[in-house]
Amino acid sequence: MIETRQLTKRYGDFTAVDGISFRVEPGQVLGFLGPNGAGKSTTMKMIAGFLAPSSGGATVAGFDVETQPMQARRALGYLPEGAPSYGEMSVREFLGFVADVRDLGQDLRHRRLDDAIGRLHLEPVLEQSIDTLSKGFKRRVGLAAAILHDPQVLVLDEPTDGLDPNQKQEVRALINSMARDKTIVISTHLLEEVHAVCTRAIIIAGGRVLADATPAELEARSRYHQAVSLTAPDLQQAKEALALVADVASIEVDPQDNRITAFPKPGRSIFVAVGDALKSRNIAVRELALEPGRLDEVFRTITQGAGGTEART
């Protein structure tokens, strides 16, 4: 479990993190979203005990990170921003060092090392020095170090940054496989990642929490939520048909791919009505889809709208 209470970090006059409170339970994967400089990393550094909060506090697995730092650190697996590691060491030496600092017993050490190395597919580079590895491997070495002691709580700062799509997929699968009994917080720029791994998302900007909801709830705030989009050979005909559906509020055409999107009036559902209208007029469509809502649009609206102060849930 992770809990923060009015966590605040000030640098002189600048407030990087401004009274952030949340609570994450085991089994939850919390996604931390926000523009660059929003305070994501600073918040994570405070939870990990690397930075001391200016005011407020945080607990990890019930241990206060300031007054019980050793217990909190033992319960925590932390991947710092940029996945730093000692470049002159080989992967095996580095993971061995982390295992020794964590004081895993001889038996456990072997088992945990094998497990972490296997999960992150590090076998081919075990004897290479970390400096010579690609960005993707470096990130995976950092992840292996974070999960080495099978911690109850994981804080991962941009775990998939620098990975190729296949590796991203694998790391997401890894996070999902650990999600059942652990408390996990990840930060990311990638909205697709929120869908793939997170059970809950917090959007922060300017050091404040602007939204705290499930990915589906966030999508529901999108103006695309419940909209219907389609492509048709005869654009004009299709547009005219849509305009006659009672609950359609507006129609937009994407100039790039000629995709037509019909937006419903608030609270109404238009999917069936649109289908019927097209069918009754015998208009051919290549494709017809009900939009779940677009996270990127919600993200933009929340982080740019209202100067980043309103829209609190």
Partner 1 sequence: MSGTLTIFRRELRSYFATPVAYVFIVIFLLMSGAFTFYMGDFYERGQADLQPFFMFHPWLYLFLVPAVAMRMWAEERKSGTIELLLTLPVTLWQAVFGKFLAAWAFIAIALALTFPIWLTVNYLGDPDNGVIFASYLGSLLMAGAFLAIGSCISATTRNQVVAFILTVVACFLLLLAGFPLVLDVFHAIAPQGVVDAIAGLSFLTHFTSISKGVIDLRDLVYFVLMIGVWLYATAVVIDMKKAA
Compare residues 84 and 118 and give the one whose CB is closer to partner 1. Answer: 84
Q: At 299, is the secondary structure helix, strand, or coil?
A: helix
d(CA 83, CA 286): 45
d(CA 168, CA 286): 32
Structure tokens at 283: 């208009």
Among 80, 159, 207, 308, binds partner 1 (CB under 8 A): 80
Task: Write the binding mask 233 to 252 for partner 1: x where contact by CB under 8 A, - elsewhere.
Answer: --------------------
Rounded CA gap, 129 and 195, in Å?
Answer: 35
In this structure, which amino acid lies at residue 143?
Answer: L
Tokens encoding 253: 């055409």
Question: Does 145 contact partner 1 by CB under 8 A?
Answer: yes
- Among positions 25, 100, 123, 192, the unique one binding partner 1 when judged by CB under 8 A: 100
Q: Is residue 93 a contact point for partner 1 (CB under 8 A)?
A: yes
Considering the rule CB under 8 A, would residue 98 count as an interface residue with partner 1? yes
The helix/strand/coil state of 15 is: strand
**DSSP code, position 59:** E
88 contributes a contact to partner 1 by CB under 8 A: yes
Shortest gap between Cβ of 60 and partner 1 (angstroms)?
A: 11
Distance in Å, CB of 101 to partner 1, minimum: 5
Q: 3-state DSSP: the chain helix, strand, coil percent, rounded to 5?
A: 40, 25, 35
**Contact between 101 and partner 1 per CB under 8 A:** yes
109 counts as binding partner 1 under rule CB under 8 A? no
Q: Which residues bind partner 1 (CB under 8 A)?
A: 11, 45, 48-52, 70, 73-74, 76, 78, 80-82, 84-89, 93, 97-98, 100-103, 129, 145
